[in-house]
Amino acid sequence: MAGGASVQPLAWNIRLKIAIGAARGLAFLHTSDKQVIYRDFKASNILLDGSYTAKISDFGLAKLGPSASQSHVTTRVMGTYGYAAPEYVATGHLYVKSDVYGFGVVLVEILTGLRALDTNRPSGQHNLVDWIKPYLSEKRKFRHIIDARLQGQYPYKAAYQIAQLSLKCLEAEPKHRPSMREVVETLERLQASDQKPKQPRVRPTHSMAHRQGQQPLHHRSPLHTNLDRNRGYQHSPRVR
């Protein structure tokens, strides 16, 4: 999912299609006979074909899931900062639900068009999830963090519900996160309910003003400092 200045921003339906494709991939691994924890889920490991069908790549860090009597496997911490689940980074305890956390991070990237980790952003904003989380849960604030390059062409209600889904995926406690099957079901339901992008109820005055290089008249938010300059994906440093 590379994106640079010369690349057209992806439309909402395509973003949703990619999210669903990647979620199905993780759900498949998690529910296979020999349960597999992928361990390095991130945007750059989602490969796309010409019709944006997602494939998860780079299984180098994948690990067999815990035996039936165990909740997690204990292993050396490897992965990518900005995506790795907090319990795994802190303790080396790897849960199937640790992948769900990484998926939540990618969902936030899809919604905002921002990278999980970007040290070019102002301090306090380097880690996307730490920075954006408080803005996801409130409808009023959520308007300001959705990728302005969508130019309002997204179903507001579904987008907000995806934000709520991402928050569940990002729960600190692994067992409070949904399974990837549940994630797939939620995303598919939202896709079916909103086949056509609609205009949000309130015009995104803020975003439009921002695009024209003007100061927004309303809803000033600290989020939009240097926002466009910082959008797009780049390599994230490894944890190892």
Q: Among residues 80 and 98, whose Cβ is nearest to ligand ATP?
A: 80
Question: Measured from the CB of residue 46, what is the shortest distance to ligand ATP in angstroms?
Answer: 7
Instruction: List C-alpha distances in Å: 216 to 85, 88, 121, 220.
Output: 35, 40, 20, 7
45: contact with Mg ion by CB under 5 A: yes
40 is catalytic: yes
Number of H helices, E strands in the chain: 9, 6
Do the Cβ atoms of 43 and 116 come closer than 8 Å?
Answer: yes
Q: Among residues 2 and 202, whose Cβ is nearest to ligand ATP?
A: 2
112: contact with Mg ion by CB under 5 A: no
Q: Which does 235 bind (CB under 5 to 8 A by kind): ligand ATP, Mg ion, none?
A: ligand ATP
For the chain, how big is the Rg over CA atoms in Å? 18
* In the chain, beta strands by DSSP E: 36-37, 46-48, 54-56, 63-64, 73-74, 93-94
Question: Contact with Mg ion (CB under 5 A): which of 9, 52, 58, 205?
Answer: 58
Near Mg ion in 126-165, by CB under 5 A: none
N- to C-terminal Cα separation, the chain: 23
Q: Among residues 222 and 237, whose Cβ is nearest to ligand ATP?
A: 237
Do the Cβ atoms of 15 and 153 come closer than 8 Å?
Answer: no
Question: Measured from the CB of residue 153, what is the shortest distance to ligand ATP in angstroms?
Answer: 25
Structure tokens at 240: 């190892």
Count CB neighbours of 134 within 10 A.
10
Q: Among residues 41 and 88, whose Cβ is nearest to Mg ion?
A: 41
Residues that bind ligand ATP (CB under 6 A): 2, 40, 44-45, 47, 57-58, 80, 235
Catalytic residues: 40
| Chain positions contacting Mg ion, by CB under 5 A | 45, 58
